[in-house]
Amino acid sequence: MIFESHAHYDDEAFDTDRDELLPRLRQQGIGYVMNISSDISSVSACIALAEKYPFVYAAAGIHPDDTGELNEDNFEWLKKQCGHKKVLAVGEIGLFFAEPAAWLGADVVLVLSYFFVSRRVLGRDA
């Protein structure tokens, strides 16, 4: 049995065939899917897919490129979503592909704040 550990089936690219594709995964030997959110809006979509399909689970988090949308309200909301029975991970962890110069200035603040997200979301002080 295969565990697909990183998927984005909530992406609009799957809007036309998602409901045909996901049931076929089981027939192809994929036992479980971890669908990963990438921004605030996709967290709800990932949870909805996990609720619809018993073999799909969700990861709730924000990609480093989207940390600008984080604020106190979003942190609290994200923490609440992580308590959902089908949310088994905090993520998108993401890979920050930026030129070294981009790590200077305001980008550093955003990236560093992201690394504290999982601790904040899980209710621990950073």
pLDDT in tens, 44-85: 999 999 999 999 999 998 887 787 887 888 888 988 998 999
- Tens digit of each residue's pLDDT (9 = 90 or more) over 99-113: 544 444 444 444 545
Reading phi first (left if > 0) and then psi (alpha if -120 to 50, else beta), residue 90 is in beta
Sorted by where each begins, the domain ranges of the chain are 2-121
Name the class of domain 2-121.
alpha beta
Q: What is the pTM of this model?
A: 0.77
Give me the sign of the Cα torsion angle 27, 29, 35, 36.
negative
